[in-house]
Structure 1
Amino acid sequence: MNQLGVGIAITGSGSAKPELSLNNHQLSQMVETSDEWIASRTGIRERRLADEQISLSSLATEAANGAIAMAGITPQDLDLIILATSTPDDLFGTASQIQAKLGATQAVSFDLTAACSGFVFGMVTAAQFIRTGTYKNVLLIGADILSRWVDWQDRGTCILFADGAGAVVMEANESDRFLGFSLRSDGTQYKYLQLAYIPQSQELVNGMVVGKGNFQPIIMNGKEVYRFAVQKVPEVIEKALFQANMTTEDIDWLLLHQANQRILDAVAERLNIPKEKVISNLANYGNTSAASIPLALDEAVRQGKVKAGDVVAAAGFGAGLTWGASIFRWGK
């Protein structure tokens, strides 16, 4: 039991994917690339894309319903909803729309933005509310629709990013199943992966010049992001394991942000974790940002891979630059 006396359990998971699929062969008709080129460099074979009728809140709500049902609670039991996303339907926030769609009338809700690290940052944030006794049942959602911010002529990014949502329910529990974490940020490297605002025009308002603009498509320096991930992710996992008083030998499953199969393989190798312990669904879904960890977790749970009591080391990394890891046992 932790020193504050309130344990945490991750009791349910859910996920949602758009129906529309774009495989590498289809993508090669749009930009100069090939299935062999993409698969050998990223491990991705296809990705899911949201059409214009799909909102982030609808995907997130579907994933949330799955997690709530598995946890055996109702939306009215929720005290808090955290939405980890970089692509909200509304820049003022989308979590409250999800709260309304769920009918979670007792829950406070807010968005959290930490890009591809968002889900792990969200886990740690949720844990603090539970630890202090402020809230008992927390719904954490990771969801992104990155396809709407991709330059489909940029071969370096359009092959990677996709859309989806995943969710978990975290509950106050007698035994503590949330074992350790470590979070990091380095804003000096933000330029390596960004979706930045750019001014496009000016307008005169009462004698003052006011700018107007929009967000540019995703820009990424793939080599630098790869170098950063392979170096920093093993370190942050080891720090989280140290806090949990564990070693890599105690890990049943390594669950990394699904960015690139070469990164997954390199991190596992550096930690001496065998490939059969690495959860990967990257080939089917691509990089879904904050959704990738809970989406892969839900799939593994429903396939019977991840079982109650299994130790999971989850790590996210991405724009900011941000990175972090959490160590938890699945289930009550």
Structure 2
Amino acid sequence: MTGTRVIGVGHYQPSKVLTNEDLAQMVDTNDEWIQSRVGIRERRIAEDETVADMATLAAEKALAASDLRASDIDLVVVATCSAVDRVPNTACRVADRLGVGSPAGYDINTACSGFSYALATADHAIRCGSATKAIVIGVEKLSDWTDWTDRSTCILFGDAAGAVVITGTEGDEEPGIGPVVWGSVPEMSDVVRIEASHPYIAQEGQTVFRWAITALAPLARKAAEAAGVDMDDIAAFVAHQANLRIIEGIAKKLKAPNAIIASDIVESGNTSAASVPLALSKLIDNGELKTGAPVLLFGFGGGLTYAGQVIRCP
């Protein structure tokens, strides 16, 4: 194997919609205040669905789009920071429900950058021969960890899952997943937290905002450079959907003049590790990206961690 490529994408969102008007009945807020600060209009909330349920549904769609069977998969990776159960891991539960026989399976938690981390580790596993075909899933049920009386955080988060299927390239086929550019700022790791002593999402929003606006565009650009793709050729920039102002700020500094800027944050809220594959899947489903188009993915958040890579659309 000389590289890997994405051959199928899929996503899932719960049916329950929680609008800004709904939140205004719960806490002291309003639609104008929320949209002006974070750009969110509504978000989806899982009621009966678990993290494993949503992950499975997104993976089923990605698998169907790939034209592979569950028996072809030998690696399942799930990125999540919101799974309630510690053991068994979500990946093995998803593998069982899909009917994947004896795969390697593990969960990864780097919060909002989790999908890009997970995609990179699956890419590495296939490149080195430890796997041949993988399902990579980003999934969150953040509603389980949201303090619905805290207006600074409850306006932000939603529930969702997104998934991709990847396989190896052969011969002279060009790799469809570029090298990952990843890292962290461990001295700032506690600015986003879900801790045992306070089991709700807490964050220092202004600190995260300043870091994202100032530090991330050069790192995202490095991911394009590592893939050998000029910024003029990037068809879409799919960043973690944290805050519309952050996304627009990074995109402005990124200077990718022809790129679609994913803004699923408006209708889905912040879905952490699910946000990048969710937004990517919607762009593909809507016919906004052509097969082979280079897309710059970039996740960032709790840790503070970041990871990005260029992929070619299936």
TM-score normalised by L of structure 2: 0.96
> Could you report, residue by residue, the CA deviation over 1:98-151 in whole angstroms, capped at 9, with x for unpaired residues?
111111013221111110000000111011011112211010000000011011
**Residue of structure 1 equivalent to 2:178:** 179
Return the offset for 1:302: 0.8
The answer to whether the aligner puts 1:292 opposite 2:275 as a matched pair is yes
**Is the aligned partner of 1:195 residue 2:190?**
no
Please point out which of 9, 14, 20 is paired with 2:5. Answer: 9
Distance 1:232 1:329 in 2: 25
Give CA deviations for 1:187-226 in whole Å, capped at 9, x if unaligned.
110121111122xxxxxxxxxxxxxxxx521111111111
Partner of 1:68: 63
Distance 1:22 1:276 in 2: 30
The unaligned stretches of length 5 or more in structure 2 are none
C-alpha separation in 1, matches of 2:209 and 2:260: 21
> Superposed, which structure 2 residues align to 1:127-276 within 5 Å?
127-174=123-170, 175=173, 176-198=175-197, 216-274=199-257
Distance in 1 between residues matched to 2:24 and 2:257, nearest whole Å: 33
8 Å CA contact 1:193–1:320 kept in 2: the answer is: yes
Aligned residues: 310
The alpha-carbon distance between structure 1 residues 112 and 77, as it changes in their structure 2 partners (threshold 3 A), is same
Q: Give the match's secondary structure for 1:325.
A: strand
| 1:14-93 alignment, distance < 5 Å | 14-51=10-47, 53-92=48-87, 93=89
Task: Check conservation: 1:179, 1:244, Cα contact below 8 A.
Answer: yes
Conserved in 2, the CA contact under 8 Å of 1:233 and 1:324? no
Q: State the SS of the aligned residue for 1:133.
A: coil
Give the structure 2 partner of residue 108 of structure 1: 104
Structure 1 range deviating more: 133-142 or 179-188: 179-188
Please report how far the alpha carbon of residue 248 of structure 1 lies from its aligned counterpart in structure 2 after TM superposition: 1.4
Q: CA deviation at 1:276?
A: 5.9
Q: Which letter maps to 2:85? A: D
User: Which residue does 1:204 correspond to in 2?
Assistant: none
1:96 aligns with 2:95: no
Q: Which amino acid aligns with 1:253?
A: A
Structure 1 consecutive aligned stretches of length 4 or more whose deviation exceeds 3 Å: none
Give me the whole-angstrom Cα distance separating, in 1, the residues matched to 2:127 and 2:104.
17
Instruction: Say which is worse superposed, 87-96 or 312-321, in terms of deviation.
Output: 87-96
Q: Which amino acid aligns with 2:283?
A: A
Partner residue in 1 for 2:285: 302
- The residue matched to 2:138 in structure 1 has which SS? strand
Equivalent-residue separation in structure 1 for 2:95 and 2:178 (angstroms): 28
CA radius of gyration, larger in: 1
Whether the aligned pair in 1 keeps the contact of 2:233 and 2:258 (CA below 8 Å) is no
SS in 2 for 1:246: coil
- Structure 1: gaps of 5 or more residues: 199-214
Q: CA RMSD in A?
A: 1.2
Report if aligned partners of 1:22, 1:47 keep a CA contact under 8 Å in 2.
yes
Structure 1 contact 6–133 (Cα < 8 Å) conserved: no
